[in-house]
């Protein structure tokens, strides 16, 4: 660099490099957040190590559990946990049925069709590399028929949605991320409002009017209005309510333990399932873990029509509303 | 006699450390792997920003601002890439570039081998890093974030404690 004293070269380099990255940021802000090639390369380069590490650690843990540390107790515990998960799901279903008898038929239809709904189990192999986002990496990708905007759940409740898909891995945006959102309603009053993340362990429900009755401990479930998750999947429990202007500030503890996810279920369909008599006789969905066929009717869940409409706001919370992204499934 | 000449004289007793082949690349990749992998099993481990600690360590040791800021940039961009599509490329990149530069510049002027100095510097750099990330989010991304929480303060102390032990471990990678 002629004319620049050597001791100032690093300052010029610093300025140049920072400006370059600011420009990079600016370019990204202007465009839609499509996957960049550098992401694909980086994730492609790291995921084999993450998978290998996960496999190695998993193998070690299994060995320890089953051969060194109380072999029978560990297995029994695993079995009990599985049963517990199933029972939790059954309890959630029964609570929903008891609250609103009208929805009984819909849920029954839902259960009948559930066996045919394609789902895929996936292991969590990595998390976000920084605290600026809340994402997890799954060990399944486009080769396993996972697509963008598919819903991700656990037996306890909603986890998030798929935001990036690579060949052998996919990335899930957790509910707790600031950019995350899900169509939700209160379990008792059926008041609808989106629930979103706030970059912390608790979720936020923003658009419930001060006049609506809300109680601490009340369950919050999916409304199905986002066309990604079916109705009545548990989202969380209300832990804090504050009056606001014009909406209450409601904080929710997620049902699923989003800080310690090891295995999740991906809803392998982008088509909404209608929970009414007509769809009961409609074409069956693809079988478990098979490629989604998209044969089911493409319209919002009919139950939404009976629910209280969300308050009209100029700028609602970021609920995913992709046209083709919907799945009305409830795993058992 | 100008000031620059004096500073160079003062700096002359500070040793510039060289590292074994592949040490920097290996440590960087391991740190990024740790950051993405270990929190799956230990959620609290997400509090530790290993890529930042690696940036600080090699900055302080190499004492070359140009290589320090370039290493910070590479580590930051890789961390951005592994942080999911909601984190734009450059968020951590900018912060770690600046930290890499500052660490190298300070390393060239002060003796940073003592554990107490490393502890204090890590707390300062952690705070600075958070500040730059926050500023970038507020100014460039129009995202709101709080300036200070007890969690951040705790994270700064935890990172500083980890840094003292990690830096001592990384000292073994130096060429004798």
ipTM: 0.72
pLDDT confidence of residue A67: 72
- Burial (Cβ within 10 Å: 0-12, 13-18, ≥19) of residue B146: exposed
Question: In B, which residues are within 8 Å of A9 by CB distance?
Answer: 66
pLDDT confidence of residue A101: 53
Which of the two residues, A226 and A115, has the higher pLDDT score? A226
DSSP A305-323: GGSBPPP--SS-------T
Number of continuous H segments (helices) and E segments (strands) in chain B: 7, 0
Question: In A, which residues are within 8 Å of B41 by CB distance?
Answer: 57
Residue of B nearest to A199 (CA): B145
B107 touching A (Cβ < 8 Å): no
CA B171 to chain centre: 15
The reply to whether A75-173+259-304 and A181-254 are identical in fold is: yes
SS3 B7: helix
Lowest mean pLDDT among A93-107, A268-282, A290-304, B150-164: A290-304
Residue with tokens 């995202």: B143
- Going from the C-alpha of A175 to that of each of A64, A193, A235, A293, the distances in angstroms are 33, 15, 9, 27
Question: In B, which residues are within 8 Å of A137 by CB distance?
Answer: 36
Most B CBs within 10 Å, among A60, A130, A201, to test the B interface: A130
- Counting one residue from A and one from B, how many pairs have CB atoms under 8 Å apart? 156
- Find the mean pLDDT for residues A126-137: 86
Alpha helices in chain A (DSSP H): 6-30, 37-63, 71-99, 103-114, 277-280
pLDDT range class, residue B138, cuts 50, 70, 90: confident
Taking alpha carbons only, the member of A207, A277, A197, A201 closest to residue A246 is: A207
How far is the C-alpha of B9 from the C-alpha of A220, rounded, in Å?
A: 68
Question: In A, which residues are within 8 Å of B83 by CB distance?
Answer: 128-130, 132-133, 135
Contact: A28, B70; criterion CB under 8 Å: no
SS3 B154: helix
How far is the C-alpha of B57 from the C-alpha of B75, rounded, in Å?
A: 13
Cβ neighbours of residue B54 closer than 8 Å, sequence gap 6 or more: B27, B28, B31, B75
Say yes or no to pLDDT of A137 above 90: yes
pLDDT confidence of residue B100: 94
CB nearest A50 (choices: B4, B37, B46):
B37
Question: In B, which residues are within 8 Å of A33 by CB distance?
Answer: 85-86
Tell me the average pLDDT of chain A. 73
Which of the two residues, A6 and B44, has the higher pLDDT score? B44
Contact: A33, B85; criterion CB under 8 Å: yes
Cβ neighbours of residue A134 closer than 8 Å, sequence gap 6 or more: A128, A173, A174, A176, A177, A180, A197, A199, A258
Percent of chain B with pLDDT over 70: 91
Domain count, chain B: 1
Most A CBs within 10 Å, among B26, B36, B129, to test the A interface: B36
Q: How far is A298 from chain B (nearest CA, A)?
A: 28
Tell me the domain boundaries of chain A: 75-173+259-304, 181-254
**Which of A21-25, A101-105, A107-111, B132-136 reaches the highest mean pLDDT?**
B132-136
Which of the two residues, A151 and B107, has the higher pLDDT score? A151
Question: In A, which residues are within 8 Å of B147 by CB distance?
Answer: none
Taking alpha carbons only, the member of A77, A139, A145 closest to residue A291 is: A145
The DSSP letter of residue A126 is E
pLDDT range class, residue B92, cuts 50, 70, 90: very high
- Structural class in CATH, domain A181-254: mainly beta
- Structural class in CATH, domain A75-173+259-304: mainly beta
CB nearest B84 (choices: A28, A125, A133):
A133
pLDDT confidence of residue B130: 93
Contact: B90, A260; criterion CB under 8 Å: no
Say yes or no to pLDDT of B36 above 60: yes
What are the pLDDT digits (tens) for A199-209?
888 999 988 88
Residue B68 structural domain: 3-173
pLDDT confidence of residue B119: 94
Q: Cβ atoms within 10 A of the Cβ of A177, count?
A: 25
Q: How far is A115 from chain B (nearest CA, A)?
A: 30
Beta strand spans in B14-159 (E): none
How far is the C-alpha of B119 from the C-alpha of B165, rounded, in Å?
A: 10
- Find the mean pLDDT for residues A162-169: 92
Sign (positive/negative) of CA torsion B148, A236, A204, B41? positive
pLDDT confidence of residue A171: 93
How far is the C-alpha of B59 from the C-alpha of B96, rounded, in Å?
A: 11
Count Cβ neighbours within 10 Å for each residue of A138-148 and write b for 16 or more, e otherwise: bbbbeebbbbb
Say yes or no to pLDDT of A72 above 70: yes
| Strand-pair partners of A184 | A193, A222
- Going from the C-alpha of A68 to that of each of A9, A73, A79, A80, A82, the distances in angstroms are 59, 11, 18, 20, 22
Provide the residue count of chain B.
176
In this structure, are residues A209 and A201 in contact, taking their beta carbons and an 8 Å threshold? no
């Amino acid at each position: 660099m002629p004319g620049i004293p050597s001791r100032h070269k690093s300052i010029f380099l610093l300025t140049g490099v920072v400006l370059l990255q600011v420009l990079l940021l600016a370019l990204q802000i202007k465009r839609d957040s499509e996957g960049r090639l550098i992401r694909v390369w980086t994730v492609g380069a790291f995921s084999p190590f993450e998978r290998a590490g996960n496999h190695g650690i998993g193998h070690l843990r299994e060995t320890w559990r089953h051969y060194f540390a109380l072999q029978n107790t560990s297995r029994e515990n695993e079995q009990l946990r599985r049963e517990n998960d199933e029972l939790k799901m059954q309890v959630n279903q029964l609570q929903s049925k008891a609250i609103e008898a009208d929805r009984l038929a819909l849920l029954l239809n839902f259960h009948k069709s559930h066996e045919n709904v394609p789902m895929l189990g996936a292991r969590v192999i990595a998390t976000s590399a920084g605290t600026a986002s809340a994402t997890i990496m799954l060990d399944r990708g486009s080769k396993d028929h996972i697509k963008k905007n598919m819903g991700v759940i656990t037996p306890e409740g909603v986890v998030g949605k798929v935001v990036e898909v690579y060949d052998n891995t996919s990335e899930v945006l957790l509910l707790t991320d600031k950019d995350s959102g899900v169509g939700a309603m209160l379990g008792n009053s059926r008041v609808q409002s989106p629930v979103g993340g706030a970059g912390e362990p608790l979720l936020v429900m923003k658009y419930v009017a001060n006049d609506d009755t809300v109680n601490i401990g009340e369950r919050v479930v999916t409304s199905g209005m986002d066309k990604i998750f079916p109705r009545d999947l548990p989202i969380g429990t209300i832990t804090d309510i504050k009056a606001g202007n014009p909406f209450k500030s409601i904080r929710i503890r997620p049902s699923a333990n989003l800080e310690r996810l090891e295995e999740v279920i991906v809803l392998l369909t982008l088509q909404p399932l209608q929970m009414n008599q007509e769809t009961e006789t409609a074409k069956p969905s693809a079988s478990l873990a098979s490629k989604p066929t998209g044969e089911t009717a493409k319209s919002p869940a009919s139950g939404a029509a009976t629910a209280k409409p969300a308050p009209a706001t100029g700028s609602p919370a970021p609920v995913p509303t992709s046209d083709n992204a919907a799945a009305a499934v409830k795993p058992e | 006699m100008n000031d620059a000449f004096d500073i160079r004289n003062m700096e002359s007793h500070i040793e510039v450390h060289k590292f074994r082949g592949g040490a920097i690349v290996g440590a960087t990749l391991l740190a990024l792997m740790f950051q993405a992998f270990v929190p799956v099993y230990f959620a609290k481990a997400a509090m530790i920003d290993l890529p930042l600690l690696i940036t600080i360590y090699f900055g302080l040791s190499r004492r070359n601002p140009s290589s320090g800021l370039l290493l910070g940039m590479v580590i930051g961009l890789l961390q951005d890439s592994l942080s999911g599509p909601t984190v734009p490329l450059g968020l951590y990149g900018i912060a770690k570039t600046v930290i890499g530069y500052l660490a190298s510049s300070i390393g060239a002027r002060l003796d940073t081998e003592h554990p107490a100095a490393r502890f204090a510097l890590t707390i300062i750099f952690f705070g600075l890093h958070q500040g730059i990330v926050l500023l970038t989010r507020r100014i460039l991304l129009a995202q709101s974030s709080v300036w200070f929480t007890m969690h951040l303060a705790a994270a700064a102390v935890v990172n500083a404690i980890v840094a003292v032990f990690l830096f001592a471990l990384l000292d073994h990678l130096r060429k004798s």
